[in-house]
């Protein structure tokens, strides 16, 4: 019976489902602006790391307390403060109060189930995005919040580990333009690497779909349908995060804020184009998966039909023959054929002839 | 026969259907502005409760008659007048006349089948929403009307019992911002807790869907389809109330009225974001349910096919064998094989060999 | 064979179909503005009835000729001239010329296949709507044209019988606001009662759908599918008339014309809300019907599968048994079992055991 | 085998397909503005006919050469120059050059695969439409180009035969408004008769669909599906031409050009309304066809199921009986029943009883 | 078994899939503006060819190095510099720097997976398009970038071979308008020939679909479904490139740039119309393919049903007959019929009669 239930094992399936609406620890009805961390409970220490740079100098540090970051607010150099972990609400609160964040910003930041969005608060721009990446071959979804100020970018991540290492490298080694430009360009770089990672994901998808397509042809079994539906759900999930991301990018580029320079806006248009490209690819993949389901189903039903047809034909040939031998098994006193010398052989002849004719007929009708 | 009809029992099904277009007591063609209560008939007393507060004081009362509420109109403190029950048209009429509501406002308020909407009447804003909540594990849908004035909010509910207790608590204990701000912020708080409750509903949905998904895998039976369709209908229903709610939130936040401050508008944008998040989740759930139906159906047909295939194969093996034994049951006078000493055993050998060959063939063809 | 063709009888089916594009008597290519009545031919007399009123007086009359209505154009009291029947083109022409209608208005008025629309001709507003109502338990669709002037409303109906009686009553008895307000408010009242009637229709639909849902569960037969498709078509038809009606209501309320007062516009917004509510309900019903088809089909195929499975299992059990008895029907000279004393009883034992084992196996596999 | 392939015969099917992208004689890459006729090759003479009129006079002529039409450009009377046939590029070129058409206008005019469109070139308005009409009971699609100038309308048709005869008549006999108004009104008349013809087409469709619906009920066979798909394709085709036509009508009416008077714009709004009405009807027909396919398929599968069920039940009744008679055909030495005097009759009794019980059971289960 | 897997062979299938998201050599996270060629690796030399012309002179050259092209930037004659091959990043870089391209332009140019787009950089317009053409009967997709300056057009292709030869010819021979107009008109010509090529592709599609439709009728087999899905995917691909192309054309025509003259804008509107025409045709083809799948599936299931029905009927006729002969094969001591003289012949008569009656019944029921 195991065979019929091919989607019983993979436990991580449930993971993915939960993600659509994550459990919120917050009780409904709490006063808005109440700072409650809504992600999965964690106990490790929150890690803060700072990269402070201008065209000529780079300074890297890992402050122990949020208070150590206070100075970066008013320094003229560009500071990138990265916070790994949101479970220590106090740290967030201290940082937020010092840098002057709106209470709702801080609530949203902690509520790790946000839809990507961008909001302009005048002194800073508040951006929520989702970082999708592979960790041990599984898609991992994490909320990432950017607060872009005049000369600082603060990024909040749910967990340690991200897609930003190449940017850190570029800052350290002064490669590319990032050291020469402002906080908006740094924010652009971060977003760009988030969006760029989707291409990696799409390539993996492409590989899996090629594999699937081959399997449908060479070795079609029930588990394929399950894999198709898993891919479909993952695409659905990517799409759900990408559409609002695209909107964020559009709005970031159009925003009328002194914080975003014209040069950076051109670069943002480029990421925006990438996001459309990715959405395009996702839509195409979805269409392809739908086609695959069709092919798989028609393939399956075709095979089933073939089996049934052949078996039915066999049965159909033997049923009349069985009738014939039944006839001569009757015990009537007077059955002349039984007495003939070659009756037995004649009857064999008749039966062989009949079955050959039937088979020829079936063949001619293309039933066999 | 009972087994084939798995959706005969649950009587509450009918409940839900009726809700889509509730019976209206009003006869078509009555003059507009005629006050007729259109909900289910009730006999208990209408309960009015008032919370009157400013930053420093809170006063709570349960006036017996609508006349006792008249003073709150012109008091400078913020008053929240909550009316539980709409069946006593006189009370509504008195309140409405004193507070100066438009006749259509009063008609809509009593017609408990409204679509969520917002209308700005200058002196007050008229908001119709729907309060969905679980009562004894069943979704309950109730119309809730808010009239937001300069220093008062009047809320009309169809029934006793709501999702506002945490807000009452916050007002009583002075937690959060609500005591320091105006009537618009109070209205925001009420709407926020309505919308927040959807997250609770979605979590329950998530649980049910996880359960469903497991059942499809481990124990698929016809009743699953019925449960899927029930969930689908409930999602449909949530969606139907949420879309106009989202619109109401959008318009509330954009409204150009002296009654809505800029600070509150920022908070309203936040609820608006939540409503989009919920709609997103509902859409995803719908897609998932559609996937489940596909998986269930293909699972069912796969099982059916498996059964039919095995049974057909068995029949196909025995039909030729039956023919063979039929042959030697014939009564021809001259059948040499019958006279052979080991004819019987030989025929057994032939039959066993034939069936083994056929089984091997079927196996090789992957039919078995 | 009658059973397979359950939708042969109901002749009124054809009725409904014709309505989608009614036969037009007009030949294509006639000069525009040519007055040709395109409805079904009729011979009875056209009935004109007039209600002339202001706040204090009401006068009711049934003029014999159109000329008798000429005076109402310039009277300062509000006049409602209702024309039942469009087949006497001359009457329409006379009225139209006296009141100064545009030739296209008169053509559209007579062409009873119009889509709801509103057009502002300065001196009067031209509104085409459709009046759907039950007559002898059947949906009846009729074109209704309103011409709203400064102090008159002329309404043209195709046939005697309408949904306006409550309004006539209100005018006669001076109930509600209608006597105190202008022609625009009278037009609003007429439209409101048209739209309100949809709620009556929807309630009937609701009843039929409840009945259907019960039948699918308790007594599913082929005729259900036919009834579902009939309901679907009727919904389709309602929807087709409602969408443009909704648009008309929107435009009527937004129109910039001296003929529509601000007060009336507020009332029109209310009917507009109703029309959206009805459209919502129709969409929900459509979704429900689609669900019903799914449930019905899967229910049917489930029953079929059950039947086939049981029968196949029976066949499968007996086929091997038939083989066994065939074996001992063979006439070999030397078959030791045949000579054993209890051979016959043993073979019975073997067969009973075999069938029990097979049944247990099928049961365990959940095939039975 | 012929029966399974019901759509082999009708050759005209291919016709319709080709129409979607007609073969273009033009090689890709030719300089734009090159005049190449892209329709099917023809050899007959191009026919030019002119109707020149004002309120008092009408003159009709059939000029042999394009040069004979030159005078009509500057005459103050309204001239309608109709060109039947586009294959003689020279004629078009001469006319075009004299009347001052843009090279692209002339290219589009000859490229008979255009989508309906309207372009304002200042001195003239260039309109491409498609004329659909029945010719020998088959839909015929032809490109028709109108060039509307100050006092002339030039219409280019692909072929002789059109829907304009009633307009010619009206001009000759001075019926209607056409003689009193300008070139824009003449253009309106031509377009109106094109659009009006759709109603004729829709009526034919209605008849065919009524026929189809009856056939599905009374005499369902495989060829019905083919007819449904043919109708679907024709609807698809009509829709494809109507949507851009509707757009053309909208733009024509909104165009800000000295060539279109306000009076004519009102008439154009009327045709525009007609086009929406037709699109509505087409959408309804599409829905109805989809319903028909559903009914047909479920009808078919219902019949198939009925057949299979009855046959399976028969087989199921006889298989156990065959087993029973097999039992008493065994040759055991000791089978007590065989020796009983009434054994044979008893066994008949048992078998009859068993089959009756089984049939009753099947009946009770509603399987029969 | 080979027959069931008809889509195993064609290896080029995989080609097409990869194209949707091509492998990118670029690692995510590289600084933006880094020049990395992302297409398939190539080793041959990049070929540059220049056509420099004005109304009177044409000069053609194939410069060896990018430096040889530097002069064309400031020449007053129109220069078309065509670069075949993007794998030599240095050449692109040198050209780009001299002509003053934005770093992102150069990055996009090399990233051969772009979506069609147009960007106005003031001094030049940057256009990315895709060139689809048949090469050895297979669709080939290539990125083509146009940079349109004041007096030059630079086109970058991935590979040698394009659809521009007719334009080269026109320039050389001075045919058409191209020599008399500016760089914008040259760009228009290039785009026009790209879009025009789609008509060639559509014609091929039309042929294939006609073939398919015939095959479905005359010779339906499983491989048809695969061909339909292949066509569907190719249409999907064309559509995916055409929609953004259409947008590019729209924006090119509306762009407010000194680089685009009004005359050229009119021509661009024409290509834009063509692109809509092509999209229309693609949509129609998609609908037709969907219809074909429906017809194919219903055709297949119809055939299957026919087979099963006939076979089942045969089995059903013989099963009762076999029972009858089984009866007279029983060995009861007392079976009167066995002793009758003509019992044997009577039983034959009974059996023949029974089978004839059954066949007549089946015929009457239309089961046979």
pLDDT at residue B14 greater than cutoff 70? no
Number of H helices, E strands in chain B: 9, 7
All residues of chain C having their beta carbon less than 8 Å from the beta carbon of residue D330 are 325, 328-329, 338, 344, 347
Architecture of domain B304-364: Up-down Bundle (1.20)
What DSSP designation does B178 have?
Answer: G
- Give the neighbor-by-neighbor strand order of the sheet with A138-148: A58-61, A47-53, A78-84, A152-157, A138-148, A125-135, A117-120
Number of H helices, E strands in chain E: 9, 7
A349–chain E Cβ distance below 8 A for any pair: no
E14 with A210: Cβ contact below 8 A: yes
Nearest CA to A19 out of A236, A288, A243, A295 is that of A236
Highest mean pLDDT (candidates A19-33, C19-33, D128-142): D128-142
Q: Locate CATH 1.20.58.340 in chain D.
A: 305-364
pLDDT at residue C82 greater than cutoff 90? yes
All residues of chain E having their beta carbon less than 8 Å from the beta carbon of residue A192 are 32
Nearest CA to E111 out of A196, A252, A264 is that of A196
Nearest CA to E271 out of E166, E199, E173, E181 is that of E199
- What confidence tens digit (pLDDT) does each residue in D291-329 have? 888 888 888 888 888 788 888 888 888 888 989 888 888
Coil vs helix vs strand at A330:
coil
**Across D58-116, where does the E strand assignment appear?**
58-61, 78-84
Q: What pLDDT was estimated at residue E243?
A: 92
Is the Cβ–Cβ distance between E90 and E32 less than 8 Å? no
D319–chain B Cβ distance below 8 A for any pair: no
Query: Which residues are within 8 A (CB) of C258 and not within 5 positions of it... i.e. 6 or more apart?
Result: none
Per-residue tokens: E183: 């760089």
C21 with D320: Cβ contact below 8 A: no
- When pLDDT is averaged across residues D222-247 and rounded to a whole number, the result is 87
Q: How many CA atoms lie within 13 A of E162 on its CB side?
A: 28
- When pLDDT is averaged across residues B261-288 and rounded to a whole number, the result is 90
Q: What pLDDT was estimated at residue E86?
A: 87
Task: Measure the CA–CA gap between E367 and E310, rounded to whole angstroms.
Answer: 8
- Which residue's entry shows tokens 């729907």? B130
Q: What pLDDT was estimated at residue C29?
A: 59
Contact map slice: C 118-147 vs D, CB within 8 A: 119
E210 with D342: Cβ contact below 8 A: no
| Weakest-pLDDT range from A60-64, A269-273, B158-162, D350-354 | B158-162
C295 with B34: Cβ contact below 8 A: no
Average pLDDT score over chain C: 84
C211–chain B Cβ distance below 8 A for any pair: no
D17–chain B Cβ distance below 8 A for any pair: no
Parallel, antiparallel, or unpaired: how do β-strands B47-53 and D47-53 relate? unpaired
Report the predicted TM-score, pTM, of the whole model to 2 decimal places.
Answer: 0.79
Q: Locate CATH 1.20.58.340 in chain C.
A: 309-364
Residue of D nearest to B315 (CA): D319
Q: Which of A167, A218, A309 sits opposite E5 (nearest CB)?
A: A218
> How far B29 CA sits from the closest chain C CA (Å)?
5
From the options 1.20.58.340, 2.60.120.40, 3.80.10.10, 1.10.1040.10, give the CATH code of D305-364. Answer: 1.20.58.340
Architecture of domain C309-364: Up-down Bundle (1.20)
E328–chain A Cβ distance below 8 A for any pair: yes
Coil vs helix vs strand at E263:
helix
CB atoms within 10 A of CB D283: 14
Task: Measure the CA–CA gap between B299 and A223, rounded to whole angstroms.
Answer: 10
Contact map slice: E 238-257 vs A, CB within 8 A: 240
Q: Locate CATH 1.20.58.340 in chain A.
A: 307-364
Q: Locate CATH 3.30.460.20 in chain B.
A: 2-298
D291 with C229: Cβ contact below 8 A: yes
B1 with D329: Cβ contact below 8 A: no
Average pLDDT score over chain D: 84
Tell me phi and psi for residue C28, to 5 degrees. Answer: -60, 145
Per-residue tokens: B52: 């009157």
- Give the neighbor-by-neighbor strand order of the sheet with C138-148: C58-61, C47-53, C78-84, C152-157, C138-148, C125-135, C117-120
D113 with E277: Cβ contact below 8 A: yes
E299–chain D Cβ distance below 8 A for any pair: yes
Work out the angle between the directed axes of helices D183-218 and D165-173 (0-180°, nearest 10): 140
E7 with A295: Cβ contact below 8 A: yes
C223–chain D Cβ distance below 8 A for any pair: no
Q: What pLDDT was estimated at residue B268?
A: 92
Q: What pLDDT was estimated at residue C103?
A: 86
Nearest CA to D297 out of D364, D225, D192, D353 is that of D225
Residue of E nearest to D115 (CA): E277
- What confidence tens digit (pLDDT) does each residue in E214-247 have? 888 777 777 788 888 888 888 888 988 899 999 9
> How far A41 CA sits from the closest chain E CA (Å)?
31
CB atoms within 10 A of CB C97: 12
Contact map slice: A 161-190 vs E, CB within 8 A: 163-167, 170, 175-178, 188-189
> How far E166 CA sits from the closest chain A CA (Å)?
32
Architecture of domain A2-298: 2-Layer Sandwich (3.30)
A225 with B295: Cβ contact below 8 A: yes
What DSSP designation does B180 have?
Answer: G
Q: Which chains touch D (3 or more CB pairs under 8 A)?
A: B, C, E
- What confidence tens digit (pLDDT) does each residue in E43-81 have? 778 899 999 998 889 999 999 888 888 888 888 899 999
Q: How many residues does chain C have?
A: 368
- When pLDDT is averaged across residues D232-239 and rounded to a whole number, the result is 88
Q: Locate CATH 1.20.58.340 in chain B.
A: 304-364
Tell me phi and psi for residue A302, to 5 degrees. Answer: -60, -45
Per-residue tokens: C267: 């009332």
Tell me phi and psi for residue B193, to 5 degrees. Answer: -75, -30
CA B340 to chain centre: 78
> How far A169 CA sits from the closest chain B CA (Å)?
36
All residues of chain B having their beta carbon less than 8 Å from the beta carbon of residue A335 are 331
What DSSP designation does D69 have?
Answer: G
D291 with C342: Cβ contact below 8 A: no
Number of H helices, E strands in chain A: 9, 7
Task: Measure the CA–CA gap between D31 and E181, rounded to whole angstroms.
Answer: 13
- What confidence tens digit (pLDDT) does each residue in D190-210 have? 999 999 899 889 888 888 888
Region for residue D367 given its phi and psi (left: phi exceeds 0; alpha: psi -120 to 50; beta: otherwise): alpha
Per-residue tokens: B345: 């055993």
CB atoms within 10 A of CB E247: 16
Per-residue tokens: B15: 């409940």
Task: Measure the CA–CA gap between D346 and B204, rounded to whole angstroms.
Answer: 65
CB atoms within 10 A of CB C119: 20
Q: Which of B203, B308, B313 sits opposite A23 (nearest CB)?
A: B203
Is the Cβ–Cβ distance between D331 and B329 less than 8 Å? no
Q: What pLDDT was estimated at residue C27?
A: 55
Quickly list H helices, C3-110: 12-20, 89-99, 103-110
Task: Measure the CA–CA gap between D109 and D103, rounded to whole angstroms.
Answer: 10
- What confidence tens digit (pLDDT) does each residue in B190-208 have? 999 999 899 889 888 888 8
Q: What pLDDT was estimated at residue C308?
A: 80
Query: Which residues are within 8 A (CB) of C290 and not within 5 positions of it... i.e. 6 or more apart?
Result: none
CA B248 to chain centre: 20
Q: What pLDDT was estimated at residue C87?
A: 84
Size of interface D-E (CB pairs under 8 A): 166
E11–chain A Cβ distance below 8 A for any pair: no
Q: Which residue has the higher pLDDT, A135 or D143?
A: D143
Query: Which residues are within 8 A (CB) of E43 and not within 5 positions of it... i.e. 6 or more apart?
Result: E87
Contact map slice: A 277-296 vs E, CB within 8 A: 277, 280-281, 284-285, 287-288, 291, 294-295
DSSP letters, C120-167, are E-SSSEEEEEEEEEEETTEEEEEEEEEEE-SSEEEEEESSS--S-HHH
Query: Which residues are within 8 A (CB) of B249 and not within 5 positions of it... i.e. 6 or more apart?
Result: B191, B195, B268, B271, B272, B275
Q: Which chains touch A (3 or more CB pairs under 8 A)?
A: B, E
What DSSP designation does D29 have?
Answer: T
Number of H helices, E strands in chain D: 9, 7
DSSP letters, B299-322, are HHHHHHHHHHHHHHHHHHHHHHHH
Burial E124-146 (b: 16+ CB within 10 A, else e): bbbbbbbbbbeeeeebebbbbbb
CB atoms within 10 A of CB A341: 10
Is the Cβ–Cβ distance between A144 and A263 less than 8 Å? no
Chain D interface disruption, residue of B329, B330, B344, most D CBs within 10 A: B329
Q: How far is CA B53 from CA B50, B78, C351, in A?
A: 10, 5, 88
Architecture of domain E307-364: Up-down Bundle (1.20)
Give me the interface pTM, i.e. the ipTM.
0.73
Tell me the average confidence (pLDDT) per consecutive run of 10 residues in chain E, 368 residues long: 38 40 54 72 84 90 88 89 89 90 88 88 93 85 92 91 89 87 93 90 88 81 81 88 92 89 90 91 88 83 80 85 89 84 88 92 81
All residues of chain A having their beta carbon less than 8 Å from the beta carbon of residue E104 are 266-267, 270
Residuewise pLDDT in 10s, chain A (368 residues): 334 333 433 333 334 433 445 545 455 556 766 777 777 777 778 899 999 998 889 999 999 888 888 888 888 899 999 999 888 888 888 999 999 998 888 888 888 888 899 999 989 999 999 999 888 878 888 999 999 999 999 999 988 888 899 899 989 988 888 888 999 999 999 999 999 899 889 888 888 888 888 888 777 777 788 888 888 888 888 988 899 999 999 999 888 888 999 889 989 998 999 999 899 889 888 888 888 888 888 888 887 887 878 888 888 888 889 898 888 888 888 888 888 888 888 889 999 999 999 899 888 887 76
Residue of C nearest to B336 (CA): C332
> Hey, what's the torsion of the CAs at C335, C336, C339, C341, to 10 degrees?
-140
């Amino acid at each position: 019976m195991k065979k019929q239930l091919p989607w019983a094992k993979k436990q991580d399936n449930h993971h993915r489902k939960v993600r659509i609406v994550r459990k919120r620890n917050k009780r409904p009805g709490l006063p808005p602006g109440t700072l409650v961390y809504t992600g999965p409970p964690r106990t490790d220490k929150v890690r803060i790391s700072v990269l402070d740079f201008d065209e000529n100098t780079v300074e890297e540090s890992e402050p122990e307390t949020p208070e150590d970051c206070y100075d970066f607010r008013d320094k003229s150099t560009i500071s990138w403060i990265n916070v790994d972990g949101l479970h220590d609400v106090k740290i967030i609160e201290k940082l937020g109060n010092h840098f002057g964040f709106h209470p709702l910003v801080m609530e949203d930041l902690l509520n790790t189930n946000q839809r990507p969005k961008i909001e302009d608060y005048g002194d800073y721009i508040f951006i929520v995005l989702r970082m999708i990446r592979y960790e041990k071959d599984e898609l991992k979804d994490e909320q990432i919040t950017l607060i872009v100020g005049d000369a600082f970018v603060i990024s909040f991540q749910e967990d340690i580990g991200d897609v930003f290492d190449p940017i850190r490298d570029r800052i350290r080694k002064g490669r590319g333009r990032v050291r020469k430009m402002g906080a908006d360009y740094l924010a652009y770089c971060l977003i760009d690497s988030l969006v760029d990672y989707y291409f990696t994901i799409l390539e993996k998808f492409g590989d899996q779909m090629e594999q699937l397509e081959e399997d449908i042809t060479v070795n079609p079994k029930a588990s394929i349908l399950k894999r198709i539906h898993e891919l479909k759900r993952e695409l659905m999930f990517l799409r759900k995060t990408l559409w609002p991301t695209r909107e964020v990018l559009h709005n970031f580029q159009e925003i009328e804020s002194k914080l975003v320079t014209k040069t950076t806006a051109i670069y943002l248009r480029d990421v925006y184009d990438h996001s459309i490209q990715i959405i395009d690819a996702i839509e195409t993949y979805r269409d392809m998966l739908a086609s695959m389901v069709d092919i798989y189903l028609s393939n399956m039903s075709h095979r089933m039909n073939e089996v049934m047809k052949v078996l039915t034909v066999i049965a159909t040939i033997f049923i009349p023959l069985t009738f014939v031998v039944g006839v001569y098994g009757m015990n009537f006193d007077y059955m002349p054929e039984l007495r003939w010398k070659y009756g037995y052989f004649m009857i064999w002849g008749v039966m062989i002839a009949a079955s050959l004719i039937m088979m020829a007929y079936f063949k001619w009708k293309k039933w066999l």
